[in-house]
Amino acid sequence: MQPVIVLADGIGAALGVPVLSCVTTTRPTTQLKNVTDPEERKKQVDGLYQVDATQTQGRSILLFDDLFRSGTTMNAITDQLLGPGQAAVVRAVTITKTRSNH
């Protein structure tokens, strides 16, 4: 199991709030950690994520991730949550931030 899921489940249990796995990918992914060009990062996540609107519509969402580098992934997922997912509000939290090469 992914450490981020274990952390999210633990935080959700401690706060008494549901943890949803409502974000999926539309195709196999590659890691972005070695992609330093911001435009290339955006290109690689374009159309990559989709959300289950039956779980997100009208809800306040806390988007949880273990690592923040450029915000590309979190921005792409947030766009899906607010757009097709029809979430009322999206807030984000990460566990750590990597050093930026730019």
Whether the model clears a pTM of 0.75, i.e. scores above it, the answer is yes
Output the 3-class SS for 18-74. CCCCCEEECCCCCCCCCCCCHHHHHHHHCCCEEECHHHHCCCEEEEEEEEECCCHHH
- Collect all residues with Cβ–Cβ distance below 8 Å to 39 and sequence separation of at least 6: none
Rounded CA-CA distance 3/96 in Å is 13
Report DSSP state, residue 100. P
Along the 102 residues of the chain, how does pLDDT read in single tens digits? 788 889 889 989 999 999 988 999 999 877 777 788 888 888 889 999 999 999 999 999 999 887 777 888 899 999 999 999 999 999 998 888 776 555
The pLDDT value given to residue 100: 56
The pLDDT value given to residue 46: 92
